[in-house]
Amino acid sequence: MTDKKLMPGQRRALLQMAGLAALAPTAAAITSKAQAQEKIPQATVMYQATPKDGQRCDQCQHWQAPNGCAIVAGDIAPAGWCGVWVKKEG
């Protein structure tokens, strides 16, 4: 085996490449998580902009003020309702 000395600039470049290689799995995990969090289309969950049987989106655990939902795509009316409604705890 031959001992080769690296110049300071070469050492720095080697360390930078090693650092980038170490970040690759983290970037892949972040991308996978983002893809896994795609929201469900409103039509799939029978979303309607009016309450049903006293249930309203702003009383659901998935509600995200002012007009969103953690799992359903698009603008959501606070007084709306959908098939994945779950009573907010607390």
CB contact at 8 A, 57 and 77 = yes
pLDDT for residue 83:
95
- Of the CA atoms within 13 Å of residue 60, those in its CB half-sphere come to 28
Domain 39-90 sits in CATH at: 4.10.490.10
Q: Where are the domains of the chain?
A: 1-37, 39-90
Whole-angstrom distance, CA of residue 83 vs CA of residue 53:
12
3-class DSSP assignment, residue 63: strand
Residues 12-67: tens digit of each pLDDT: 776 666 665 666 666 555 555 555 579 999 999 999 999 999 999 999 999 999 99
The larger pLDDT score, comparing residue 41 to residue 3, is at 41
